[in-house]
Amino acid sequence: MDNLVPAPVRVDGNDQGTGFLPDHSTTLLAGPGTGTAERWLRSSLGASLGLPLAPARPGDEATGNTVELRVDPALAPEAYQLTVAPGAGVRITGGDPAGVFWGAQTLRQLLGPEAFRRAPVASGPVRPVPFLEIEDAPRFGWRGMMLDVARHFMRKDDVLRYLDLLAAHKLNVFHFHLTDDQGWRVEIKRHPRLTETASWRARSKYGHRASELWDETPHGGFYTQDDIREIVAYAAARHIRVVPEIDIPGHSQAAISAYPELGNTDVIDTTTLSVWDTWGINPNVLAPTDTTLRFFEGVFEELLELFPADTSPFIHIGGDECLKDQWKVSPAAQARIAELGLSDEDELQSWFIRHFDTWLTARGRRLIGWDEILEGGLAEGAAISSWRGYAGGVAAAEAGHDVVMCPEQQVYLDHRQDGGPDEPMPIGYVRTLEDVYRFEPVPPQLSEEAAAHVIGTQANVWTEVMQNRARVDYQVFPRLAALAEVAWSPLPAPDERDFAGFERRMSEHYARLDALGVDYRPPGGPLPWQRRPGILGRPIEGPPPHV
């Protein structure tokens, strides 16, 4: 019970007997509202243990060989209590269905790493769960990870696998970055060229954009609408909200390559553009025209049908790194600025964002964007993902806007994990497991009222130099486990956190990751097949600034 990740709020144990060891006669008693945890226990835990976990019959709960699930609204949302007592079996009580599900995740950890396999192994039964009481609840309501599938596409099965990995760490938000200059990844039926044309690029830069190497293999792929429905349903069954991102008005060359009228046609010949094959900030941004507005309203109409409000209350519209050089020389853009009485191109982007904030709000959704949407005035009711540092989040929170803290300098998991020469395609600052563990989402200078607007935190995973699942695994783990504890557990101030204790608990967590087939970075450094010698990265030396 001293190896749980993330650490629970309170654990009390005793030494009465050997504990609870499930067997073929163990039953599952599921009360009202616990169906997601019940189904997950049978499909995942039952498979790993080779046990049926049959439905309990009247009186089974008194036998001491039953796992009982129930909801008690007296507990807080997502909170749970887990009790293992002699003669009473296991009882998981959640404040809501999600709380019961998180308690079930804790039970799997208590049963040992073998409980993370897909089928039982011949080495013997799992270890007994000690007699104990756990009280637990999350610090933040938004605990997430952003996965970029636009730069390098990830197959549906791999996305579902990542949802399982998020659930195993009690993370409850999957930010799904679906579009960028390098690819469009979601089927929009009224605009078929978005997947016929914009989902494929002819080649890809190999390594950092300054690298001289190219992968000449065409790259692409997209999710059909039924794929998206399956991903959303799979996430909902694990109490994970999905935040889809359609990046506008920048990062849009893929869309413009399919529909040239979306670009600034009075500045460049947009018919010559193709899906971008390199990395960086692209000058080809959307034109601020009625044609563009109507086009993306159509995109969002289909998107809202695919991502229901109960699973996806937030819709991410990007808004980052929108270079305004084309707008500055575009007669159409300048005419729009004059027509609207705006002062500059920043306010033109703000007008663009506000349009979709109003549009989404009228349909019962909330807009969220990267912190650049603060420039020129933030749309009322909009939330921000503070990525360039803390400053955007501080400004937004003090103005009464909700904030997800995800500063690049702290929790971008594409940044390298070590300063040694063996890190594959080293990008950015060194962000070790300890660095992520000491990350604090709430800046100390915020007032209590403003701090309440920091609704959570997430790690961001940009995949320019991650060509496949194994490379994503290497960059994400084990650091996502540290981020999960930061987001869930009531930790002390960063300098006071017990990283040695976390490392000790991670020694067993690595065995869980092994059982799950995660290609994480070992504590001793990359394995030979995880290295990418000779592939240019962009390492930044020194400690990252707190900006």
Separation between Cα atoms, residue 523 and residue 517, nearest integer Å: 16
- Considering the candidates 78, 180, 245, 372, report the single residue annotated as catalytic: 180
Inter-axis angle of helices 331-340 and 345-361, nearest 10: 70
Q: What single-letter DSSP state applies at residue 44?
A: I
**Cα dist. 391→387, 408, 431, 514 in Å?**
9, 12, 20, 38
- Residue (of 106, 96, 98, 95) closest to 67 by Cα position: 106
Handedness of CA 432, 434, 436, 442 (dihedral sign): negative
Distances (CA, A) of 352 to 313, 324, 362, 370: 21, 13, 16, 14
Answer yes or no: 23 catalytic.
no
Verify whether residue 251 is a known catalytic residue: yes
Active-site position among 72, 321, 346, 418: 321
DSSP codes of every residue in 349-370: HHHHHHHHHHHHHTTT-EEEEE
Which of 208, 251, 401, 415 is catalytic? The answer is: 251
C-alpha closest to that of 103 among 37, 55, 164: 37
Q: What whole-number distance in Å separates Cα of residue 181 and Cα of residue 151?
A: 8
Residue 321 is among the residues annotated as catalytic for this protein: yes
Q: How far apart are CA 72 and CA 221, in angstroms?
A: 44
Where do the DSSP E strands lie in 376-530?
383-386, 403-405, 427-428, 454-461
Angle CA(155)–CA(157)–CA(158) in degrees, nearest 5?
Answer: 65
Q: How many other β-carbons are positioned within 10 Å of the β-carbon of residue 13?
A: 14
378 touches 399 (CB < 8 A): yes
Active site residues: 180, 251, 321
